Amino acid sequence: MKKLIYLLTISSGLIIIACESRTYEEISDNTPVILPVKYTSDIKPIMDNSCNGCHSAGSFKPLVTYDQVKNNIEGILDRIQRPNGDPLKMPKGGSFSATQINTFIKWKADGLTEN
């Protein structure tokens, strides 16, 4: 009898866990960007960590300097917002968080300021 109660309790717990209904958007970091976004303090660290491994100074499409990133913002926004599985999605083999994408969008809306 104790085994039956134990199994029912465990089964109920597993069913509750398996029925988690929150979506990825609800559990991911999607913090709104409120403060003004600037290249040096906000965009450059993202580029350095996620993009410059492939888009370095000597590459086909360098995205190392402020001017390079600013002049390519439309392409960057297009690539980072593509759906998973799209072969043109950037960064290769990964994805930016919603907050990182919002940071790029806000930077453009704020006028693409450098400092």
Q: Does the pTM of the predicted model rise above 0.75?
A: no
> 33 with 107: CB under 8 angstroms?
no
Give dist(CA 97, CA 43) in Å, integer: 13
Give dist(CA 56, CA 115) in Å, integer: 21
**Which tens digits make up the pLDDT trace of 61-95?**
999 999 999 999 999 999 999 999 999 999 998 89
Look at residue 78 and give its three-state secondary structure.
Answer: helix
User: What's the token pair of residue 30?
Assistant: 């999607």
**Which tens digits make up the pLDDT trace of 20-67?**
454 444 445 667 888 999 999 999 999 999 999 999 999 999 999 999
